Amino acid sequence: MKRIVSVFAVLMMVAGLAMATPSMYGSNGLVRTIAPDNCGPMSFGIGFRGFLSMGDYDTNNSWMNIDVVPMGNFAFNDMLELSIAPTYTFKQWSMTTPDTSGWRNGSKDTRIGLKATFLRGEGFNMGAYLGYDYRWSKKFSLFYAWVDDAWVKADGYTPTGNIHFTLIPGYTADKFKAHLNLGMAMNLDKYDPGDGINRIYPNIGIPFGLGMSYNAGMVTPFLEVTGKAGIDTSKYLQVTDTGFDSISRGIMNNPLWVTGGLRFDFGSIKMDLGGEMNMQTDDSTILDPTMTRQLDWQVFMGLAYTKCNLGPKVPATGIISGKVTDKAGKGLAAVVMAGGITANTDPATGAYTLSGVLIDKAPVEIKADAKGYIAKQASIMLVKKNKKVPAMQDFTLELKPIPPSEITGTIIDYKSGTPVPAVLTFKSQKATVTATADANGNYIAKLEPGTYAVTAVAEGYNNANFNVVAKDGKPVAQNTGMVKKKEKFSFSNINFATGKAIVTPEIETALQPLLKVLLDNPDLKVEIGGHTDAIGSKAKNLKLSQERADAVVAWLVTQNVKSQMTAKGYGSSMPIATNKTRAGRAENRRIEINVVE
């Protein structure tokens, strides 16, 4: 037992010089499965992995086996990875009676592989692998794929090797990874001593494997199921220490490994610890010389060193700083871009800093852009000192020219609604523009940004005044009604209660057209005339009509009417209908507005 512990301890010390990131085939992966991706351009991984198994032939014989697998890979770029993994085996046997023991050792196959990665990243991944198992010696045994002088020689054996082609679809979701290995393997070896008996000839198998892992930080648990299904189920002779026996390469006659373990992450150093069980049938291609299945389980340990993304040195980058201002020197909220790097200015000062701009032999194009301003570009040459000391580049931006706003509208007679061919004058602090309404009363004027006082003038009409604001080139629609000079508006539907001079909500509704005229024409001078029917005394009606006219003026004042208004009561002196009927008297109880000027 002490011998076993000491041998395995030595093995682990040797393994401690390397890493466990490569699989046992050298390519990046777990233990027996290959991952679809690699570690990046000009990256590499080197390491050793040791496998230990032991058992008893019978009550008198026992054995122990140690496989040492140094492995390594090198990635030329994100796509191609070259790998190599030789294997060397130590095998000890012990007998109780007589008390003897011995070691056999020798080389197994060396796997040389080339992997191509087509898709990589979060989600679906895809790779393909082509490998070749090189036979080190012509010495032959199907017990293992290596022999030395302790094993039976066979002159008819041609050790050509194995060719493997595997597709490697994979899936990555955050910390979880899974990848499938599935392909074809061609064993090109041939054994034919020329005696006419069936021997081992080239054959095809189907290697498969599923690897899963979960990155929990410093520790990554993983689980694999790997094996090979044989296609040729014919019986062939196999050479053993005691002679020949027949064996089939059929399905499940090759090892079916269930492998589990933990991968410890110490930065560039990785360590694997785990074990695996062989689930194949008893009719096995891994047999001891007495033709019984031997290898049921084994443990492994590996250490590895990996260096990722060692490709071309990261290019030197520099810093650019400055300010973006307007002509008055006021800071602007702008976006500055150079070499694929973008920065926003401080809106208060216009200051910006671009970090990580590539230092190259050619000047760097830099651009500043602010809303409402004309973008500006400049060229700046970065040098080594700009790694720490910013290169300065300021920008002074000019406002974009704003297109004139189109002012449109229609001039109509307030009372009749007919078009008025007025002349309009638009006046601001910077400009004066005139426009003439056509026969339909329509006008068009194009105005630069600003606030304009507009006066509409037409023969026989009081001037109409209003304001328009031209902004950002947006169109403005402004319709206006004009009032004829000495115009008279009669509102017979303003019905005061008999003997009353109170403006009711119904009267307010009836006064809305008058209110609009006066609000739109604040320069008008109007007389608000009150009229009554002939019921009652003339003196009383005169007083009542004056009170009603005063009430209307008072209400109009509360509505912010700025026009000059006078109130006058006419009593029943100016009827417009007969006072002998109820309908006529209702028409006579009215309010009239006379445009004085």
- Which CATH number characterizes residue 269's domain? 2.40.160.40
Which tens digits make up the pLDDT trace of 449-506? 899 999 999 999 988 888 999 988 889 999 988 888 888 877 767 777 777 888 888 8
Residues 414 and 546 both lie in one domain: no
Domain housing 388: 317-396
Secondary element (H or E) of residue 516: helix 512-520
End-to-end C-alpha distance for the chain, whole angstroms: 127
**Same domain flag for 469 and 527:** no
Q: For strand 256-266 and strand 219-230, is the pairing parallel, antiparallel, or unpaired?
A: antiparallel
C-alpha 207/C-alpha 166 separation (Å) is 8
Q: Which of 4-18, 158-172, 226-240, 460-474 has the lowest mean pLDDT?
A: 4-18
Same domain, 133 and 215: yes
Whether residue 280 sits in one domain with residue 193 = yes
Model confidence band, residue 595 (pLDDT cutoffs 50, 70, 90): confident
Integer angstrom CA distances of residue 503 from 286, 497, 541: 114, 10, 17
Tell me how many domains the chain contains. Answer: 4
Residues 463 and 498 in one domain: no
Q: At what angle do helices 512-520 and 538-558 cross, to 10 degrees?
A: 60
Examine the fold and report which residue of 349, 368, 396 is the final residue of a domain before the chain moves on: 396
Q: Are 251 and 331 contained in the same domain?
A: no
Cross-strand bridge partners of residue 568: 529
User: Does some domain include residue 312?
Assistant: no
Instruction: Quote helix, strand, coil % in the chain, to nearest 5.
Output: 10, 50, 40
Which residue among 377, 396, 415 closes a domain? 396
**In this structure, are residues 528 and 494 in contact, taking their beta carbons and an 8 Å threshold?**
no
Q: How far apart are CA 511 and CA 492, in angstroms?
A: 11
For residue 49, pLDDT beyond 90:
yes
Domain identity same for 50 and 135? yes
Q: How confident is the model at residue 170 (pLDDT cuts 50, 70, 90)?
A: very high
pLDDT band at 286 (very low <50, low <70, confident <90, very high): very low
Q: Tell me which of 249, 282, 307 is where a domain ends.
A: 307
Model pLDDT for residues 233-267, shown as the tens digit of each residue: 555 555 444 444 555 544 445 678 999 999 999 98
pTM: 0.49
Contact indicator for 26, 73 with CB cutoff of 8 Å: yes
Residue 391 has pLDDT above 80, yes or no: yes
In a shared domain, residues 248 and 143: yes
Q: Residue 544 belongs to a domain with what CATH number?
A: 3.30.1330.60
pLDDT at 570 over 70: yes
332 alpha-carbon distance from chain centroid: 29
Considering the domain architecture, whether residues 430 and 532 belong to the same structural domain is answered as: no
